[in-house]
């Protein structure tokens, strides 16, 4: 009777795990399931082969649990960019955000053209301070402030820029080489999907601003 209870508790936890969407809890419950099955296979039936595989499954799940907890662990974000993390990059974990930030290069630009129309950009930029203006000929199509991307549409479509972006004052930006970001796309799909969502959201917001400017 004890054998029956132990093995069915193990499979019961496995059944529950199948209904859980949250990855961390899924891993935890699967681990509990394998612990019960390990006890059954080793202590009750004496099947060392099954016990070995259950031990291996437990080890893999524990490693993944530790990895997930580490990914989600809150990390120190410098005060000057904390608002950016909590608004624009809120889909990223602290670890992902700090890693992305470390890949960029911060630079200050004086009054100048940041990007020209019709040029295929090699870098994605993000405005940290100051203002920039999206120009269509002599007309200002949109005004960009802290927390907005520059050349993100060109980056996403891999096409030349559709407008000129200029600044009439000193601005500070962070820029990422396109090849560095594309490497994330090929090596870490879940991370890349978050970045793609953030960029797409910025494009949508910018198009809305440009449409309003065009209507007026």
The pLDDT value recorded for residue 87 is 93
112 and 209 share one domain: yes
- Tell me which of 194 and 137 has the higher pLDDT: 194
Give dist(CA 146, CA 165) in Å, integer: 14
34 and 105 share one domain: no
Average pLDDT, the chain: 86
Structural domain range at position 97: 79-215
Question: What is the average pLDDT across 66-81?
Answer: 83
Model confidence, pTM: 0.69
Q: Is the pLDDT of residue 216 over 70?
A: no
Give dist(CA 183, CA 202) in Å, integer: 21
44-67 confidence digits (pLDDT tens): 777 788 889 989 999 999 999 998
The pLDDT value recorded for residue 214 is 61
131 and 186 share one domain: yes
Q: Nearest CA to 84 among 173, 153, 208, 156?
A: 173
140 and 180 share one domain: yes
101 and 204 share one domain: yes
67 and 93 share one domain: no
The pLDDT value recorded for residue 113 is 84
35 and 94 share one domain: no
CATH code for the domain of 98: 2.60.120.10
What is the domain count for the chain? 2
Q: Nearest CA to 149 among 82, 193, 84?
A: 84
The domain boundary residue, chosen from 72, 95, 115? 72
Q: Is the pLDDT of residue 41 over 60?
A: yes
85 and 120 share one domain: yes
The pLDDT value recorded for residue 84 is 94
Report how far apart, in Å, the C-alpha atoms of 117 and of each of 67, 112, 154, 170 are: 44, 14, 10, 21
């Amino acid at each position: 009777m004890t054998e029956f209870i132990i093995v069915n508790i193990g499979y019961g936890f496995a059944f529950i795990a199948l209904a859980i969407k949250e990855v961390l809890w899924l891993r935890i419950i699967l681990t509990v399931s394998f612990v019960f099955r390990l006890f059954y296979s080793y202590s009750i039936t004496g099947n060392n082969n099954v016990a070995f595989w259950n031990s291996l499954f437990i080890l893999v799940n524990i490693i993944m649990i530790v990895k997930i907890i580490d990914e989600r662990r809150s990390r120190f974000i410098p005060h000057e960019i904390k608002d950016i993390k909590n608004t624009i990059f809120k889909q990223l974990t602290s670890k992902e955000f700090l890693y992305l930030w470390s890949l960029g290069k911060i630079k200050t630009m004086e009054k100048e053209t940041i990007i020209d129309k019709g040029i295929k950009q090699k870098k994605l930029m993000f405005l940290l301070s100051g203002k920039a203006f999206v120009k269509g000929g002599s007309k200002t199509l949109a005004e960009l402030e802290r927390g907005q991307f520059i050349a993100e549409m060109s980056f996403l479509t891999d096409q030349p820029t559709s407008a000129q972006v200029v600044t009439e004052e000193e601005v500070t930006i962070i820029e990422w080489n396109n090849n560095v970001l594309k490497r994330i796309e090929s090596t870490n799909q879940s991370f890349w999907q978050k970045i793609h969502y953030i960029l797409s959201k910025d494009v949508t917001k910018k198009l809305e601003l440009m449409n309003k400017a065009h209507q007026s």
